[in-house]
Amino acid sequence: MTASRIVLIVLDGIGDRPHPALHGATPLSAARTPVLDRLAREGITGIMDTIAPGIRPGSDTSHLALLGYPPREYYTGRGPLEAEGSGIRMRPGMVGFRANYATLDPEGRVADRRAGRIHGTEPLSKAIEEGVDLSSFGVTFRFVSGAGHRAALALEGEGLGDGVGSNDPKKEGAPPHPFAPTSDLPADARTAAVLNEFVRQARSLLFDHPLNRERLAQGLLPANEVLLRGAGRMGHFEPFSERYDLAGAVISAATLITGIGRVVGLEPIPVEGATGSVDSNIENKVGAVIRALETHQFVLLNIKGADESGHDGKAEQKRDFIARVDGALAPLLDLPGTVIAVLGDHSTPCTVKDHSADPVPVLIRGEGVRPDRVERYDEFACAEGGLHRIRGCDILPILLDLIDKAHKYGA
């Protein structure tokens, strides 16, 4: 029997490098993963460069590649995707940005780029939307919270460009940069001026906000600065359903991934308790996958906590989170008529605390798959698998062929 459904499970940032705290193992190879190992044993495995060898992928470009939208053709910047995922409907001409709530110290330096991994920032974003006034520029905006410390900004008005830099110094201990255009175009200079004014007014509103006063009283870091980056305009995406003749859904706590799903036409399915962090309710997300398969032939499930641990350099935490994910995936083992693919979107080594170009492990299990001899799902074992080394844009054609949705090339 040929399978008719696909579940694409992206373990965000799962790849890693040998870590001294784990006696030379990676968090994945050190974790107890009987479910993932069974999937590997019953399927075919390999390693994957989501963009290309030696290229450090972003979560945005990698997910576009995994969904079969080559980023060199479709990627216009992360900002519009974050904005869509936050619930902002991006219209032609609008410029989008990804945002972080951050903490400034009394000297105006960034003390924490993520404001202590703050959650529940909606009151702050509402205060900014209601209190910041950009009418002197003839510009309107939306500013909406995402998961955790994340948010998104969208600007709309005449003469705006997307050729602007970021105010994010990308490290603690340095002041935010002033926004500056990256070209000589007047539209980009105008946008930089708008952003400088936006951040100036937002900072004033955040400084004395009740939520921040409460955080300070509790000994927590205040979210008193907005860092913006990833400027871009909305691009055009052929709908997933037309491109592949599949009804698709996306399940993710990360607004970026939800936004990518929205722009290609995947139905976002919200899940109670999904946070995008190591405390996320993974069991609820897996349950949502099973329910979504009743009406959709393709489901993208993103689980992000391992990436967070990698960025924080916490190898043991990443190992333990992976083990918890493994247990939560057990209900997917007996899904009939379903091809399951498990992979990473990129590596986030705990020794690097950022994305790296290391390939990620991948497995595919389902009807029609020719199993190899690999019996574990990790970076070392999968490197010996039957898929060998593939690229991100290869995965969907392979999966479509397994459910008889591939088209013949030639006569």
Cα 50 to Cα 108, 144, 176, 372: the distances in Å are 38, 29, 32, 22
Q: How far apart, in whole angstroms, are the C-alpha atoms of residue 223 and residue 100?
A: 9
Residue 15 lies in a domain: yes
Same domain, 145 and 71: no
Domain region containing 39: 5-75+236-402
Please check whether residues 228 and 314 belong to one and the same domain.
Answer: no
246 and 285 fall within a common domain:
yes
**Is residue 409 in some structural domain?**
no
Same domain? 70 vs 162: no
* pLDDT of the residue at 229: 95
The number of helix segments (H) and strand segments (E) in the chain equals 15, 13
Residue 15 contacts residue 346 (beta carbons within 8 Å): yes
User: Do 95 and 36 share a structural domain?
Assistant: no
Within a domain: residue 351? yes
pLDDT score of 93: 80
pLDDT for the residue numbered 224: 98
Closest to 288 (Cα-Cα) out of 277, 274, 304, 307: 274
Quote the number of domains for the chain.
2
Q: Please report the pLDDT score of residue 255 as a whole number.
A: 87
What does the block give as tokens for 411?
């006569």
Strands (E) located in 201-251? 225-233, 248-251
Decide if 390 is inside a domain: yes
Q: Which single residue is written with the structure tokens 């053709």?
A: 73
Cα(118)–Cα(399) distance, rounded to whole angstroms?
Answer: 38
Q: How many residues does the chain have?
A: 411
Pair (91, 190) in one structural domain: yes
What pLDDT was estimated at residue 276?
86
| Domain final position from 189, 210, 233 | 233
Tokens in use for 35?
Answer: 């479910």
CA dist., res. 86 & res. 198, Å (int) = 19
Written as one string, the DSSP assignment of 322-362 is: HHHHHHHTGGGTT-TTEEEEEE-SSB--TTTTS-B---EEE
CA distance linking residue 170 with residue 72, whole number of Å: 25
Q: Are 17 and 26 in contact (CB under 8 A)?
A: yes
Give the Cα separation of 326 and 11 in Å (integer). Answer: 11
Give the residue from 233, 262, 286 where a domain finishes.
Answer: 233
- Listed residue (397, 80, 129, 128) closest to 258, CA to CA: 80
One domain, residues 30 and 96:
no
The answer to whether residues 166 and 108 belong to one domain is: yes
Which of 188, 213, 233 is the endpoint of a domain? 233
Question: What's the CATH code of the domain at 33?
Answer: 3.40.720.10
263 shares a domain with 126: no
Question: Can you list the residues of the chain whose pLDDT is less than 70?
Answer: none
Q: How many CA atoms lie within 13 A of 90 on its CB side?
A: 29
Residues 395 and 260 in one domain: yes
Does residue 137 form part of some domain? yes
**Residue 136: inside a domain:** yes
Could you tell me which of 342, 335, 339 has the C-alpha nearest to residue 6? 339
Q: How far apart, in whole angstroms, are the C-alpha atoms of residue 190 and residue 384?
A: 53
CA dihedral 111, 114, 119, 121 (to 10 degrees): 80
Q: Are residues 262 and 222 in the same domain?
A: no
Residue 408 resides in a domain: no
Same-domain check for residues 200 and 138 = yes
The token pair that represents 315 in the structure block: 């190898």
Nearest-angstrom CA–CA distance, 77 and 105: 30
pTM for the structure as a whole = 0.87
Query: Could you tell me if residue 53 is inside a domain?
Result: yes
Name the DSSP letter for residue 316: H
